[in-house]
Amino acid sequence: MAQEAYIGKYHEFPRLLGKTVRIDERELAVFRLSNDEIRVIENKSPFKGGVLAEGMVSGEYLYDPLYDWKINLTDGNVQAPDSGNVKTYPVKIEEDKVFVTL
């Protein structure tokens, strides 16, 4: 069942730097893009399960910090020649509060 969770204040998410957000057992990687939109993905690479929050953000894409895979932050698709998919979470911003649908 979908549920909403609060993940922090919008203005506290630094631009182009990923933040790790933990909700119970779940770890999310939250990114504020250069266009100020927020993207949330699972903090787990489809390749060897590494973390993603520390990757380099470029436009809509993330370069994974461990193996340099290129991942689309909007649909979670790993770009060729690698492949796979990272779970993405819908985001809602109300005033300064950021929520994700789990």
Partner 1 sequence: MDKKKLVLIGNGMAGIRAIEEILKLLPDYFEITVFGKEPYPNYNRIQLSKVLQGDTEIKDITLNEWQWYEDNDVRLYPGESVTQIDTETQKVYTDKGKAVQYDNIIIATGSHPFILPIPGANKEGVTGFRDIADCETMISASRIYKRAAVIGGGILGLEAARGLLNLGMEVDVIELAPFLMDRQLDETAAHLLQDELEKQGMRFHLKKQTTEILGNERVTGLKFADGTSIQADLVVMAVGIKPNIQLAKETGIKTNRGIVVNDYLQTEIPNIYAVGECAEHNGIAYGLVAPLYEQAQVLAKHICGMNHQGYKGSVVSTQLKVSGVDVFSAGMINESNETKAIKLFNEWQNTYKKIVVKDNKLVGAVLFGDTTEGAKLFSYIKKGECVNAYLDSQQNRETGESIVSTMADDEIVCGCNGVSKGAIVKAIQDDGLTTLEEVKNATNASRSCGQCKGMVSDILALTLGDKFEKGEIKETVCGCTDLSRDEVIAEIKAKGLTHTREVMNVLGWKTEEGCSKCRPALNYYLGMVYPKTYEDERESRFVNERLHANIQKDGTYSVVPRMYGGVTNADDLRKIADVADKYDVGMIKLTGGQRIDLLGIKKDDLPHVWKDLGMPSGYAYGKSVRTVKTCVGAQFCRFGTQDSTGMGIQLEKKFEGLNTPHKVKMGVSACPRNCAEGGIKDVGIVGLDGVWEIYVGGNGGTELKQAELLARVKTEQEVLDYSAAFLQYYREHANYLERTSKFVERVGLDHVKEVILDEENRTALCARMDEALAAYKEPWNEAIESETILKDLYNTVIGGK
Q: Does 56 bind partner 1 (CB under 8 A)?
A: yes
Q: Does 19 bind partner 1 (CB under 8 A)?
A: yes
Q: Does 81 bind partner 1 (CB under 8 A)?
A: yes
**Is the preceding peptide bond at 65 cis, omega within 30 degrees of 0?**
no
Q: Which has the closest alpha carbon to 43: 81, 88, 2, 8?
A: 88
Rounded Cα–Cα distance for residues 102 and 3 (Å): 5
Applying CB under 8 A, which residues contact partner 1? 3-8, 12, 14-17, 19-23, 28, 30, 34, 48, 50-51, 54-59, 63, 65-66, 68, 70, 79-83, 100
